[in-house]
């Protein structure tokens, strides 16, 4: 089997076992072509890993050696704390790449939309329509489907240059994620993540979570992890609300309680970290099937519908099924019912269950895990 493309150590444990049957010359030539061997020998960043201790060692692009002996992948002198610290560093890079990419992508979209007569005071529906047209136009330019005479007021070189920058940030993000997968795979909880009950979660999200939280042994209980990832509410003046709700208020309406700077600091809410837990929730709700997290979602959603009937009313027509002009409400399509609030509530509780189980497994990794107890 010829070694090409993805670094061999990025593979799963099953793939690692397969690699032991490959020729040393194939691995050696791959490492020589990639320049990893020289880079790892120069690196001083990974004192917890033994570099080239065994002739069957395979080096990753972050300087970590995994040794394959008797068709098993053996972790060499890697502390959980050091892996967690490196994941935090990589997640900071990844977050910066994402933020930079989104910033220039949004700016490009707004620039192109401006050539289509977009202006800030446009109604929301028209604005979204123009932004969609701008996205199609950008795609045509990048694919070179637009001729120069169709350029109009827009600079095609500007669009292409910006698109190249966006692609560059995407590549750097992918590179960081590959390194995070390598590190996450050698964490003690990696095997737990691979269990069928964790379907919809995955090794990359494990790396991202630890990149945001650090070593979970530093958290006294799961509630601390929930707070860190934006899954816990904050109480002020007898009102207990989630961070997004506090943020949406902003004190614009008279009489509404709002959070001040010192309270936001105490809360520690981060929209970016909340978006990560939101994506985790989406994954486990869609892919967990008959697992514990999908079951928790279904249970929480059903209880929300039963106990909070006001959550199911369309926020636009207030359950009347009609628009302000007397026609059919376009938001709920004339049903008067919207299940989004109940859906988000169920997804949040499923996410909190997963984070709770992860914390338990992380801090009791040497014990037999009681799956039924925490489902």
Q: How far apart are CA 169 and CA 95, in angstroms?
A: 11
Amino acid 79: pLDDT: 81
The CA–CA distances, whole Å, from 353 to 3, 34, 293 equal 40, 42, 7
Residue with tokens 């001729």: 147
Each of the 375 residues of the chain gets a pLDDT tens digit; together they read 333 333 333 333 344 344 334 433 333 343 344 344 444 444 444 444 433 333 333 334 333 444 333 223 334 446 888 899 999 999 999 999 999 999 999 999 988 888 888 888 888 888 888 889 888 888 888 888 776 545 555 678 888 899 999 999 999 999 999 999 999 998 989 999 999 999 999 999 999 999 999 999 999 899 999 999 999 988 888 888 888 888 877 655 666 778 888 888 888 888 899 999 999 999 999 999 899 999 999 999 999 999 988 888 888 888 888 887 778 888 888 788 888 889 999 999 999 999 999 999 999 743 443 434 433
Amino acid 78: pLDDT: 61
Q: Which two tokens stand for residue 239?
A: 């009102």
Please name the residues in contact with 65: beta carbons below 8 A apart, sequence gap of 6 or more: 40, 49, 50, 51, 52, 53, 57, 58, 59, 76
Q: How far apart are CA 111 and CA 288, in angstroms?
A: 41
Amino acid 251: pLDDT: 55
SS3 content of the chain, % helix, strand, coil (to 5): 60, 5, 35
Amino acid 250: pLDDT: 66
Residue with tokens 């929730």: 281
pTM over 0.75: no
β-pairing, 72-74 with 239-241? unpaired
Sign of CA dihedral 229, 235, 236, 239: positive
What torsion do the CA atoms of 194, 199, 200, 203 make, to the nearest 10 degrees?
Answer: 0
Amino acid 93: pLDDT: 94
Could you tell me if 318 and 188 are in contact, meaning their C-beta atoms sit under 8 angstroms apart? no
Could you tell me if 246 and 258 are in contact, meaning their C-beta atoms sit under 8 angstroms apart? yes
Q: Which two tokens stand for residue 284?
A: 């486990």
Q: Which two tokens stand for residue 316?
A: 């636009």
Amino acid 144: pLDDT: 80
Nearest to 197 by CA among 280, 291, 297, 296: 291
Amino acid 3: pLDDT: 32
Can you name the residues that pair with 59 across neighbouring β-strands?
A: 65
Give the H or E element holding residue 74.
strand 72-74
Q: How far apart are CA 23 and CA 124, in angstroms?
A: 60
Amino acid 262: pLDDT: 83
Alpha helix (H) residue ranges in 186-270: 190-193, 203-213, 222-228, 243-249, 261-267
């Amino acid at each position: 089997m010829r070694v090409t493309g993805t670094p061999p150590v990025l593979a799963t444990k099953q793939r690692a076992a397969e690699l032991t049957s490959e020729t040393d010359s194939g691995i050696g030539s791959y490492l020589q072509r990639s320049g990893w061997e020289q880079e790892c020998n120069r690196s001083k960043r990974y004192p917890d890993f033994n570099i080239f201790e065994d002739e069957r060692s395979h080096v990753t692009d972050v300087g970590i050696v995994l040794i394959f002996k008797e068709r098993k992948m053996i972790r060499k002198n890697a502390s959980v704390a050091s892996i967690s610290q490196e994941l935090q560093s990589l997640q900071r890079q990844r977050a910066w790449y994402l933020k930079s990419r989104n910033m220039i992508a949004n700016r490009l979209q707004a620039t192109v939309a401006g050539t289509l007569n977009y202006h800030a005071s446009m109604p929301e529906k028209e604005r979204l329509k123009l932004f969609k047209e701008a996205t199609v136009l950008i795609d045509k330019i990048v694919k070179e489907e637009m001729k120069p005479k169709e350029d109009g007021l827009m600079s095609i070189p500007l669009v292409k240059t910006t698109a190249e920058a966006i692609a560059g940030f995407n590549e750097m993000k992918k590179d960081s994620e590959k390194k995070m997968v390598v590190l996450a795979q050698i964490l003690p909880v990696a095997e737990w993540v691979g269990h069928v009950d964790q379907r919809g979660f995955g090794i990359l999200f494990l790396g991202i979570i630890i990149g945001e939280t650090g070593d979970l042994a530093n958290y006294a209980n799961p509630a601390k992890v929930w707070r860190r990832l934006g899954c816990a509410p904050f109480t002020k003046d007898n009102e207990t609300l989630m961070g997004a709700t506090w943020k949406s208020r902003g004190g614009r309406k008279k009489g509404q309680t709002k959070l001040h700077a010192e309270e936001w600091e105490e809360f520690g809410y981060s929209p970016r970290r909340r978006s990560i837990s939101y994506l985790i929730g989406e994954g486990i709700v869609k892919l967990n099937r008959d697992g514990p997290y999908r079951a928790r979602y279904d249970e929480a959603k059903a209880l929300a519908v039963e106990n909070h009937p006001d959550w199911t009313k369309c926020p636009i027509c207030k359950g009347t099924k009609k628009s302000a002009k007397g026609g059919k409400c376009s938001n709920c399509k004339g049903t008067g019912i919207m299940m989004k609030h109940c859906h988000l509530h169920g997804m949040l509780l499923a996410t909190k269950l997963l984070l709770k189980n992860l914390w338990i497994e992380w801090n009791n990794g040497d014990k037999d895990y009681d799956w039924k107890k925490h489902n």
